[in-house]
Amino acid sequence: MLELRRRKVLGGLLAGAATATLGPALRAQAAAGSVDIEQARAEGGVTLYTSLDTKIVDSIIGSFKEKYGIGVEYFRGGSADVTSKVLAEADAGRLQADIVDASDVAALMLMKERGILKPYRSPATESVPADLRDPDDYWVADRLTQAVIQYNTQELGGSPPATWQDLTQPAYKGRLVFFSSSNGDGAPRLYTLAQNFGWELLEQLAANEPLRVQTPQLVTQVLESGERAAAFATNDNIAWRSRREGKPTDFVYPAEGVPTELGAVGLIEGSARPNAAMLFYDWWMGDEGQALLVAGGKYSSRTDLAPPEGSPPLGELKLLLLDYAEYQQNRSDILERMADIFGGEWGV
């Protein structure tokens, strides 16, 4: 299995080094303009499975349809939901998606192993560092999501939490919220915290009786309403949007380290709409699509794009990246331990 390692990945990203080379078998697909646009239009549309925030997805799809007149239908769920849907359809021999995107590189690695993905090297991905793509071009990272501390400014604005350990204090008992679906979405970033700061940190957070909700969007709604005071390991882009909309929230990137998760995208092998799928992939990873992603508060994997407005460059953050191969190998054991600590269902 591909070993995507922390130091190697972050070194390539922060240095802005796009050094990937193209295998000869894929050179024809990498040439600009290799997608047959008229054939793509004739194929009639694209089906996308994604875990990306719907506001960003809708903006990218809308601009694509305006440009090419090609519609995009999509299923949106958590990464575990997207992965389960793809794998179930593959097992049944009835894959409906043309392109898949998930905030879980381990899922794309598994899809590659299962023969679900097809290789494609888009000219739009040349500025993505070599270590943020599959070496055989079955997937490429499209975004990075940082897991931050978000808080209600009306309750905590005078003395907001700054570190993960701050949230373990007795004052936060019954005032915390976090997200993870019953399929285990949210677990990778919590495991990253455990790897770097010890399982004791998660046990101390659990002792403060946090409210568990299904999505980071719900986390922010709970904070905006004042139902809870602070959240741990929630999405920076959702927190960013809440603050920009003038809601009573703010967020911090703890100086001791911030879990970062790669989102990745790949094409489905055997798609009935291969040209439309490649064209949308190019748009998704191209200047227009990635600009809309950044405008929605996400960090792009492309080194030629600036961070979201008002956000620090990634080089100013201490990023903690999961070893995706190790996580995939030990996923069941990890999720069982999460269930022991926080209770509830975790997809095991």
CATH of the domain at 181: 3.40.190.10
Same domain, 55 and 135: yes
165, part of any domain: yes
Give me the percent of the chain exceeding a pLDDT of 70: 91
Same domain, 103 and 113: yes
pLDDT range class, residue 10, cuts 50, 70, 90: low
Same domain, 330 and 240: yes
> How many domains, the chain?
2
- The pLDDT tens digits of the residues spanning 71-93 come to 999 999 988 899 999 999 999 99
Same domain, 82 and 138: yes
Identify which of 3, 76, 339 has the alpha carbon closest to the alpha carbon of residue 186. Answer: 339
pLDDT of residue 347: 86
Between 25-29, 51-55, 261-265, 307-311, the lowest mean confidence (pLDDT) is in 25-29
Give me the percent of the chain exceeding a pLDDT of 90: 82
| List of E strands, the chain | 46-50, 72-76, 99-102, 117-118, 140-152, 176-179, 211-213, 230-235, 249-252, 258-268, 299-300, 319-321
pLDDT of residue 20: 32
Rounded to an integer, the average pLDDT of 44-59 is: 95
Q: Name the residue range of residue 238's domain.
A: 146-259+323-341
pTM: 0.85
pLDDT of residue 18: 32
Rounded to an integer, the average pLDDT of 160-175 is: 98
